[in-house]
Structure 1
């Protein structure tokens, strides 16, 4: 379940921002992170109001990482402890997808019915991803088996906060033994592409929605 163009990666903006700290994920953060997921769910913009069920984005793009890979999740916090961003990851995309099929998707399928075939709503698109998730099988996956998602609220962008939370996750994934990591970025997000290239990511595959970028983790 690699990064998807419908839930794009956000990048740091310029300008001063309040001091933010990178912390480990705590179970009490879940609702706040689901909120961040929704408020950045429209290619980095606020998706609130686009879905009848505002939790669907979190179920598809965030919840499984918090449940199955909590040790690799990092949270960006304000001084009062409020979560304003996150980066989540898995060290093995193939294994993660298998575990999602075993324990993450079945309870959601039991609670959330599959949409009608002619339902083209935003909710229906996500429900189909729950009931029939895609599987990764690209030729570069063996070299870059890990993947990540990062999302920051606008007020958390700037001052290097995005880079710090991303670097913390890259270090954790490298320590878990992954030789490389990949992520998805929308083709319109030129700032994000430049940001990742500056960190050492390179394009692995072009898609109609954007591109998949990867980076070796050896030497971290």
Structure 2
């Protein structure tokens, strides 16, 4: 009998699925495979380091067959995560993605430069929201309530760790994502010169599924 789709903790066997989900949602919510000669660049930035460094805060949406079709992942402490990213994660991926020489001149070089600048995640205005997260679902699994379920699971895990609040960053152009976060009770955090990004945050309290967004 096939099991229903459900949220569960990450397992090492989900690594390739996490990368695939990231790749297929990394172009402002759409497929990014046409943008990067090496599709593993975006997972190396936004998915794999979290599963590697803090697997206990990585959760997936299982389609019922064991296949991950969505995820939420992040860190309980952004400043500590940046330190671990620099000291532990970067040495694992630098040979594949070396730091660009000079000023980046292409989109791929810009994203590779971001990989080598994890300190960009540290902004004093975000210190009151020490955790941060990334959430992505494959298109067929969006707008069905699974994003809310993933978020509730992640916020509950943070709350159990005593983490008071969480933040995320998103492209301003991704209006469907902004509407989703607004419904879940996220509010905008003002930071200097945010560029094309919005920074959003919320408390980890009241994280039960039916209380999210209230």
Equivalent position SS for 1:48: coil
Give matches, 1:1-220, under 5 Å. 19-117=4-102, 120-205=105-190, 207-218=194-205, 220=207
Equivalent position SS for 2:35: coil
Residue aligning to 1:4: none
Distance in 2 (alpha carbons) for counterparts of 1:133 and 1:140: 17
Contact 1:109 1:130 in 2 (8 A): no
Residue aligning to 1:15: none
TM-score using structure 2 length? 0.87
C-alpha distance 155-135 of structure 1, shift in aligned 2 (>3 A): same
Distance in 2 (alpha carbons) for counterparts of 1:128 and 1:23: 33
Q: 1:185, CA displacement in angstroms?
A: 2.0
Contact 1:74 1:88 in 2 (8 A): yes
Unaligned stretches of 5+ residues in structure 2: 208-214
Q: 1:186, CA displacement in angstroms?
A: 1.9
RMSD: 1.9
Equivalent position SS for 1:106: helix
Higher RCO, 1 vs 2 (CA within 8 Å, ≥6 residues apart): 1
C-alpha distance 185-112 of structure 1, shift in aligned 2 (>3 A): closer
Q: 1:77, CA displacement in angstroms?
A: 1.3
Q: 1:142, CA displacement in angstroms?
A: 2.5
Distance in 2 (alpha carbons) for counterparts of 1:145 and 1:114: 28
**Deviation per CA, 1:84-109, whole angstroms, max 9, x where unpaired?**
11000111000100111110012222
Distance in 2 (alpha carbons) for counterparts of 1:129 and 1:137: 13
C-alpha distance 115-216 of structure 1, shift in aligned 2 (>3 A): same
Q: 1:184, CA displacement in angstroms?
A: 1.2
Q: 1:123, CA displacement in angstroms?
A: 2.5
Unaligned stretches of 5+ residues in structure 1: 1-17
Q: 1:118, CA displacement in angstroms?
A: 6.0
Contact 1:20 1:156 in 2 (8 A): no
**Deviation per CA, 1:153-210, whole angstroms, max 9, x where unpaired?**
1011122011101110111111122110001122122332222122111100262313
